[in-house]
Amino acid sequence: MSAGGLARSSSWSFGGQLARAACNAGLFVVAARVLGVDGFGGFASCVALVALAMPFANLGAISAMIRRNAHHPDDVAVDYSSALAVTVLGGVVVAGLLTAANELFAPIGMPSSVVFLIAIGDLIGYSSSFLSGAVLQSRDSILGTAFFPALVTMGRLAGVSLTWYLAGGVSIGEWAISYAAWSLAIALLIVVAVCSIVGFARPRPVSFLRQWREGLMYSVGLSAQGVYNDIDKVMLAGLASLGSAGLYAAAYRLIDLAFVPMRAVLSVTYVQFFRAGAVGVERPVSLATSLLRPSLALSALMSLLLFFGADLFPLLLGAEYADVVWITRMLAVIPVLRTLHYLAADSLTGAGKQNVRTAWQIAVAATNVVANLVLIPVWGVYGAIVSSIAADLGLAVVLWWAALRLVRGANRQRAVVGT
């Protein structure tokens, strides 16, 4: 992709990320005010729990589909329908398992029906929108990737706001019903629209399931990524209180919003890492290195805005969220650390070294869980903050070490062949 093409695609991606961020911000503010600190903590913990399981629901179907389409573009309709079938079936199974686990262990203190509805909304509705955007991205159209998830979020916000307006209030159960219903409705419209573009084809999910080892590797890697991003919210609810989980989750939502510009760049360049890897294993690392300086400048700017603008957040969320200020300031470095490890991680995936990426993500995720088990009962939110920053920093160090080691190995092999 040319520099001009990358700039245009990044602009579209940023527009979509901004639209999604605006809707997420609206949903976040409504949830924080309507559900209160404890209710919001429970909701955020449910979402975090589902996020941990999401990669296993589709067995890495999105990444597998992108890789297949990069090498076999004529099979796009079959690959899309097959990946969609895996996503829907897997979503139902995993939602059922999460509900059963909640019945047995009640890890976040929420009714099991709430867990099930939120799981269905995310595992099927939201995942289908990402999958639909990814299939268009594989055909060099960034619009779907940019705006489809935003449409689902917009539907959720509209549905919850309408319920709130008509009923004069929203319980956590009503919130979950609206969340799931609107997610599925918007996702269905998106799927029909994409099928009209790429074509309708009979799904062959077995073709994806035959590659279960690769899919499982993607799933484990994404789940490990989810562990060091989300496990602290679930563990705070179980080991501390729903209130502390609500405050921490509110601060983390602000961190996620600050990462939106960088996420737009990563969304555009993801396919490029696969294409670079088709030329040579060192090319994706070179691509990541070339993106490093402007990406760090962008994420550092967002971190500074977070730090100095934190005093404004209680005015938006309500006085009961006053502690979000200091939590946000302590977490403000995370956009920079995320930028570092995401670039290195995508370079390893593009180079065909997903196993290396996954191995390090598992190691960091396991360390993060142990750290949370030790620190949260003693320090509460402080413990979650320390563990989260350490996980992102550690991941950045080990993934860049692995990426640069890959380049050195390729150079040595080339030198041996040359002699």
| DSSP, residue by residue, 194-249 | HHHHH------HHHHHTTHHHHHHHHHHHHHHHHHHHHHHHHHHHHT-HHHHHHHH
Query: What b/e sequence results for 208-233 when a residue is b if at least 16 CB atoms lie within 10 Å of its CB, and e otherwise?
Result: beebeebbebbbbbbbbbbbbbbbbb
**For position 95, what pLDDT does the model report?**
92
Which two tokens mark 112? 């099991």
pLDDT of residue 54: 81
pLDDT at res. 343: 95
Q: What is the pLDDT of residue 12?
A: 65
Q: How far is CA 56 from CA 44, 223, 305, 401, in A?
A: 20, 8, 35, 28
Q: What is the per-residue pLDDT for 135?
A: 80
**What is the rounded distance in angstroms from the CA atom of residue 26 to the CA atom of residue 31?**
8
Residues 364, 224: Cα–Cα separation, whole Å:
8
Quick one: pLDDT at residue 85?
87
Each of the 419 residues of the chain gets a pLDDT tens digit; together they read 445 555 565 566 666 667 777 777 788 888 888 888 878 888 888 888 888 888 777 776 776 676 666 666 667 788 888 888 888 988 999 999 988 887 765 555 678 888 899 999 999 999 898 888 878 766 656 565 667 888 888 888 888 888 777 767 778 888 889 899 999 999 999 999 888 888 887 777 666 666 556 656 666 666 666 666 777 877 887 666 777 888 888 898 889 889 988 887 887 788 788 888 877 778 899 999 999 999 999 999 999 999 999 999 888 888 888 899 999 999 999 999 999 999 999 999 888 887 888 889 889 888 988 998 899 888 888 999 999 999 999 999 999 999 999 888 877 776 666 55
C-alpha to C-alpha distance for 71 and 75, rounded to whole angstroms: 10
CA distance 127 to 222: 13
Q: What one-letter code names the amino acid at 207?
A: S
The amino acid at residue 389 is I
Model pLDDT, residue 68: 67
What pLDDT score was predicted for residue 336? Answer: 97
As a whole number of angstroms, the distance between CA 26 and CA 161 comes to: 10
Cα 44 from Cα 324, distance rounded (Å): 15
What's the pLDDT at 264? 78
CA distance linking residue 223 with residue 230, whole number of Å: 10
Give pLDDT, residue 414: 66
